[in-house]
Amino acid sequence: MNDIPSNICPECGWGVTREMGCPNPDCTRPGRKAVRESQHDVEPVRPKSKSRTLALVTLLLVTVAGSWFTYEKYQEHKVEQAAATTAQKKEEATEKAEADRVAAIDACKDEIGEYVSALVTVDARLDVGVNVDTLSELVGTVSVEKAQIDEDDLAADCEPATEQADRALELYTQSVSSWEACIWNDYCNPDYDLNLQELWASATGYVERAEELMNGEDGESA
């Protein structure tokens, strides 16, 4: 058998070249060109789409933003909860303080209520007019009420009211003593020689202040 030249296709007899191989399209022996073309028919591996990458980045950003938003809402909730707790404690403290104040007022009334009431009676009777005997009797009643008070057990909150009441009693007692002394003095006239009205006016201020303090009311000290 004769050898086939290298430039002749052994399948179809067409001339072949080293670069292109067999140019016959019907030849069953593909040339290099055909091989290269068949290689081009294979779908190459495509790089990842930029839009897909962008979508992933967007999803990541949305996730991070959502987490930050949730954290911010959590912080806001903590602040609101702390403010509500503070407000509740403040309200409870205010209510307790008011309850303590009312309890102190009630306790003071129990301790010196009768004493102050007797002084108010003296002040009211002086407004309509009394003689020295009546005034002496009224002041005596006040002294009896004062004697009923145990000053050692007197609440601190009640001491200011008691001090005002004591000043009023001193002035009333002084007016009775001066009035009685004047009666026994032939040269004394109660209407001209005594300052009874001034004493009683001062006593009225102390009585009113004692009553205000006992009832827990505000006001300037006499």
Q: Which of 73-77, 171-175, 182-186, 188-192 has the highest mean pLDDT?
A: 171-175
**Residue 15: strand pairing partners:** 8
Backbone angles phi, psi at 4, to 5 degrees: -85, 130
- Taking 90 as the threshold, does the pLDDT of residue 21 lie above it? no
Write down the pTM of the prediction: 0.59
Binned at pLDDT 50, 70 and 90, residue 125 comes out as: very high
Backbone angles phi, psi at 21, to 5 degrees: 75, -155
**Dist CA 154 CA 163 (whole Å):** 12
Domain covering 83-214 assigned CATH 3.10.20 in the classification: no
| Residues with Cβ within 8 Å of residue 209, at least 6 apart in sequence | 161, 164, 219, 221, 222
| Radius of gyration in angstroms for the set of CA atoms belonging to the chain, rounded to a whole number | 57
List the chain domain ranges.
83-214
- Taking 50 as the threshold, does the pLDDT of residue 35 lie above it? no
In the chain, what percentage of residues exceed pLDDT 90?
38
Q: Are 155 and 100 in contact (CB under 8 A)?
A: no
Q: What is the pLDDT of residues 193-219, one digit of tens each?
A: 788 999 999 999 999 999 999 998 865
**Dist CA 197 CA 207 (whole Å):** 15
